[in-house]
Structure 1
Amino acid sequence: MKLKLTIALLWLLHLLPFRVMQWIAIPLGSLLFFVVSGRRKVGLTNLRLCFPEWTENQRRSVLRQHFIQMTSTLLGYSILLHGSKNRLRRLIHIEDFENFTVVQDRPIIMLVPHFLGLDFGGMGFIMDHQGSSMYAEQRGVFHEISLKIRSRYNNPQLIKRSAGIRSIVRTLKSKLPFYYLPDQDMGPQQSIFAPFFGIPTATLPMLGKLAEMTDAAVVPVITTIAKGHVVSRYYPAWENFPSGDMLADTTRMNQFIEDIAREHPSQYYWLHRRFKTRPEGEASFY
């Protein structure tokens, strides 16, 4: 019942233009910035670690903008769920897609860090192409809505995180592009410490492993929020990757994500405890 009611409410919401949703997100996101104190604290801690040269007012301003843009994307999920293909194409502007097509004779790992527009970028791709991605089991209505959005077109292969790397390898070897979200702290067991904003950061070294095991090209895809639309940009496939050096490959990935986060500082997902796992003997940042 709760799922049906949520879907109905999202249908009503999707009738609004995305630009209007962005206006609504200004007061609503600003309110969330003040009300959701736990996540605000995490976000400010991350920004202090990554941008020590900023003033505290600069960090708070960027994080408030982050809450506003995150709210606009959450409202925009109504369009992802109910919008027509024509409307989705007007909403999602795809740039430099030739960087994907030039390597499409190979397996492709689409490297998709946690920027706010990532689900819009996924929709922009899956509307017209087959693909695969991984998801984590979660509770609640949002999980069901997210799966419905991801499954709207072209019957994508959605792999549970618990299925492990073998399922991904099989998918890539079948030439199904893999939409890979790499940058969360998954704990110490399978991670290595690679620098991110100059901080040793627990990072899964899976990107290099997958590329090596499947001869896959790595094509980064970054989707950012603009006025009235989103922009999904495809970057050139990485050359000389993997290098055979696990730490070097993981560091290269983190450096790329850092570079884009510096370009769009309010749009990287700062509310995750990215630096939760610390080297032995080091105190928690949180």
Structure 2
Amino acid sequence: MSNWLTVALMRALAYVPLPWVRSLGWLLGHLLYGVVRERRHIVCVNLRLCFPQRSPAEIHSLARRVFVRFAQAWLDRSWLWHGSPCVVRNRLRLCGEVAALEGDEPTVLFAPHFVGLDAGWTAMTQQLPRSWTTIYTQQSNPGMDRWIQQGRQRFGTVRLFRRADGVRTIVGSLRQGHPLYLLPDMNFGPQESVFVPFYGVSAATVPSLSRFARLAKAQVIPVVSQMTRRGYDIHILPAWTDFPGGDPIADTVQMNERLQGYIDAMPEQYYWVHKRFKNRPVGEPDVYR
């Protein structure tokens, strides 16, 4: 589907009632599960590695739900980025320790890759009057790249850092009181990564959460976005009181352990379509082969 047609479709869906959008996502998710075999294989491998206690039937059932949630969240970008501001606000509920985000203390938001990550970002930039920052990975398709950038800059005062901007620039922004919405729980390659357990499996993980918190003397607040029937609940969890410590590797182990608890509460909403275990320690085989 061409870029302009995709964006036109999303603009049209912005005015469709949410239950209809979610129903379309349900159909699209089941379709993708059936036809996108390579990605289905990746999801099933991830789930088997992380939930070895589950039967093959349970793994495939969970994988199907993962595709449904992924598709529904993708279509939800229609109203997140093109719906009326009133509709967006009504469908996004900030809950939990929201007051912790209203000061000017340096803050790193640990935002794991749940399917509602764009909903969480949109809710905070629309509803909380601060200057927000995040790290943006450029998309290979220029048309999609422009659309995603525009969507993520729709509300508030925001800055999208690129990885080439470097640590010093991001830390300087944090020290000035601009919260950083950080998503460090994917496999970004072996460079600067450490291998730490994720559900008991060695996973290449960047220790950036520990690094930014330490260099900026920032508090770390987890933000977990959960898809609901009415839209999304964005859970602002209490700040971690024992983070960072003195060892970035131990901090990253702790980050993954806490992330597992968030995932266990809604495993079908995590971003299992990513090759989380693509890079392996020396001597370990490719798990996706």
Structure 2 counterpart of 1:164, from 150, 154, 166? 166
Report what 1:142 is aligned to: 144
Shift of 1:101: 3.5
TM-score (norm 1): 0.95
8 Å Cα contact 1:99/1:219 also seen in 2 = no
Q: Secondary structure at the match of 1:54?
A: coil
Task: Tell me which amino acid in the other structure corresponds to 1:198.
Answer: G
Tell me if 1:257 matches 2:259: yes
Report what 1:57 is aligned to: 57
The superposition leaves residues 230-271 of structure 1 with CA deviations (integer Å, 9 ceiling, x where unpaired) of 111000000021111112100111111111111111011001
The superposition leaves residues 55-94 of structure 1 with CA deviations (integer Å, 9 ceiling, x where unpaired) of 1111111111111111111111110111122111111111
8 Å Cα contact 1:220/1:236 also seen in 2 = yes
Report what 1:93 is aligned to: 93
8 Å Cα contact 2:104/2:178 also seen in 1 = no
**Whole-angstrom CA distance in 2 between matches of 1:71 and 1:19:** 14
RMSD of aligned Cα (Å) = 1.4
8 Å Cα contact 2:91/2:232 also seen in 1 = yes
Report what 2:272 is aligned to: 270
Q: Residues 39-50 of structure 1: matches in 2 within 5 Å?
A: 39-50=39-50
Tell me if 1:230 matches 2:229: no
Greater CA drift, 127-136 or 42-51: 127-136
Q: Residues 21-40 of structure 1: matches in 2 within 5 Å?
A: 21-40=21-40
8 Å Cα contact 1:33/1:67 also seen in 2 = yes
Shift of 1:207: 0.9
Report what 1:175 is aligned to: 177
Q: Between Structure 1 and Structure 2, how many residues are aligned?
A: 284
Gaps of 5+ in 1: none
Report what 2:223 is aligned to: 221
Shift of 1:176: 0.3
Shift of 1:121: 0.5
Report what 1:123 is aligned to: 122
**How many percent of aligned residue pairs carry the same amino acid?**
35
**Whole-angstrom CA distance in 1 between matches of 2:95 and 2:203:** 31
Q: Secondary structure at the match of 1:230?
A: strand
**Whole-angstrom CA distance in 2 between matches of 1:64 and 1:142:** 26
Task: Tell me which amino acid in the other structure corresponds to 2:95.
Answer: E
8 Å Cα contact 2:44/2:59 also seen in 1 = yes
Gaps of 5+ in 2: none
Shift of 1:100: 2.4
**Whole-angstrom CA distance in 2 between matches of 1:98 and 1:112:** 15
Q: Secondary structure at the match of 1:224?
A: strand
8 Å Cα contact 1:80/1:88 also seen in 2 = yes
**Whole-angstrom CA distance in 2 between matches of 1:99 and 1:237:** 11
Task: Tell me which amino acid in the other structure corresponds to 1:220.
Answer: P
Q: Secondary structure at the match of 1:193?
A: strand
8 Å Cα contact 2:197/2:256 also seen in 1 = yes
**Whole-angstrom CA distance in 2 between matches of 1:274 and 1:220:** 20
**Whole-angstrom CA distance in 1 between matches of 2:175 and 2:222:** 19
Shift of 1:99: 5.4
**Whole-angstrom CA distance in 1 between matches of 2:69 and 2:198:** 23
Greater CA drift, 230-239 or 151-160: 151-160
Task: Tell me which amino acid in the other structure corresponds to 2:25.
Answer: A
